[in-house]
């Protein structure tokens, strides 16, 4: 049986990161501020304490306070290749079709029981005035690898509560020239696109090792914020995978 440690592994407060992975089964948390009228993408990087990567947490147990009627949340449905939409309601319906406590509801106005698994992201916009904070907590899982199938859109995050360089702090396996990744830029409210190249350019404009390049064909040095999801489309045949570099 796995043992849980009580040390805090990660803390993100108002965009500032203080995190270190030191051993297996560390318990930690991350907190992010969500402003009004801004699109955010974020992902939980923890599993429930003593849980596994196949476990998750209910949307209504994660995004709980500071939201008001009309706020929006979308979860990427990989099988159907579309977003599943949810809206905050003050009195959504329960399984008996009776009004129940405030929370996220699906398009039938039922309070959703949908689960977010580790690395699964949400796309959200707080329409109501003011800011709020979102806290993810749980157990850090080490040595997790995420599989990316070919010819399908996948929206995932590195399942670790740390910020990482897209190229040099993530190990990419099975990716080839033409594969694509898009990272949401919260400040500019748009996606930053990158493409896999076998010989992108370095800072001296010389060919360098394979990796993700920006639209100038430069091998990018971009660092992904903690929990930043990626939209990946693997153009080339066969599955790929990524994991935190050792």
Q: What are the pLDDT digits (tens) for 52-90?
A: 777 888 999 989 988 999 999 999 998 999 999 999 999
Select from 67, 133, 57 the least CA-distant residue to 103: 67
Q: Are strands 132-139 and 223-224 parallel, antiparallel or unpaired?
A: unpaired
pLDDT at 26: 67
* Cβ–Cβ < 8 Å for 157, 117: no
Instruction: Enumerate the domain spans of the chain.
Output: 5-139, 145-244
HSE-CB of 205 using CA atoms within 13 angstroms: 1
pLDDT at 219: 98
**Rounded CA separation 199/210 (Å):** 5
- What are 13's two structure tokens? 């407060």
pLDDT at 198: 98
Give DSSP secondary structure letters for 139-195. EPPPS-EEEE-BTSEEEEE-SSSS-EETTTSEEEES--TT-EEEEEETTTTEEEEEE
Give, as one character, the DSSP assignment of residue 111: B
pLDDT at 145: 87
* Cβ–Cβ < 8 Å for 66, 130: yes
Contacts of 7 (CB under 8 A, 6+ apart): 22, 26, 27, 28
Q: What share of the chain is helix, strand, coil (3-state, %, to 5)?
A: 0, 50, 50
- What are 110's two structure tokens? 């039922």
Burial 52-65 (b: 16+ CB within 10 A, else e): eeebbbebbebbee
Helix (H, G, I), strand (E, B) or coil at 230: strand
17 burial type by CB count under 10 A (0-12 exposed, 13-18 middle, 19+ buried): middle
Q: What are the pLDDT digits (tens) for 24-63?
A: 556 778 888 899 999 999 988 877 787 777 788 899 998 9
pLDDT at 25: 59
pLDDT at 227: 81
Instruction: Quickly count: other Cβ atoms within 10 Å of residue 180's Cβ.
Output: 16
* Cβ–Cβ < 8 Å for 157, 119: yes
Q: Which residues of the chain have pLDDT under 50?
A: 1-23
Give DSSP secondary structure letters for 63-109. S-SS--TT-EEEEEETTTTEEEEEEEESS-B-TTS-B-SSEEE-TTS
């Amino acid at each position: 049986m796995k043992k849980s440690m009580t040390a805090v592994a990660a803390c993100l407060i108002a965009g500032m990161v203080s995190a270190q992975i030191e051993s297996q089964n560390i318990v930690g948390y991350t907190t992010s501020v969500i402003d009004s009228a801004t699109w955010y993408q974020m992902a939980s990087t923890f599993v429930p304490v003593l849980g596994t990567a196949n476990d998750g947490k209910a949307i209504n147990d994660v995004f709980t306070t500071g939201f008001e009627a009309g706020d929006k949340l979308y979860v990427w449905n990989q099988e159907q290749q579309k977003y599943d939409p949810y809206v905050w309601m003050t009195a959504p319906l329960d399984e008996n079709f009776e009004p129940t406590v405030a929370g996220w509801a699906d398009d039938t106005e039922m309070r959703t029981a949908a689960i977010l698994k580790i690395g699964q992201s949400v796309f959200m916009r707080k329409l109501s005035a003011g800011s709020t904070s979102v806290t993810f907590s749980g157990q850090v899982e080490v040595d997790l690898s995420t599989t990316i199938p070919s010819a399908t859109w996948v929206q995932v995050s590195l399942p670790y509560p740390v910020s990482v360089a897209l190229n040099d702090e993530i190990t990419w396996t099975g990716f080839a020239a033409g594969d694509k990744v898009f990272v949401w830029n919260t400040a500019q409210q748009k996606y930053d696109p990158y493409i896999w190249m076998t010989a992108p350019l370095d800072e001296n404009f010389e060919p360098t090792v394979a990796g993700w390049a920006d639209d100038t064909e430069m091998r990018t040095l971009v660092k992904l914020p903690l929990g930043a999801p990626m939209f990946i489309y693997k153009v080339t045949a066969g599955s790929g995978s990524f994991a935190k570099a050792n």
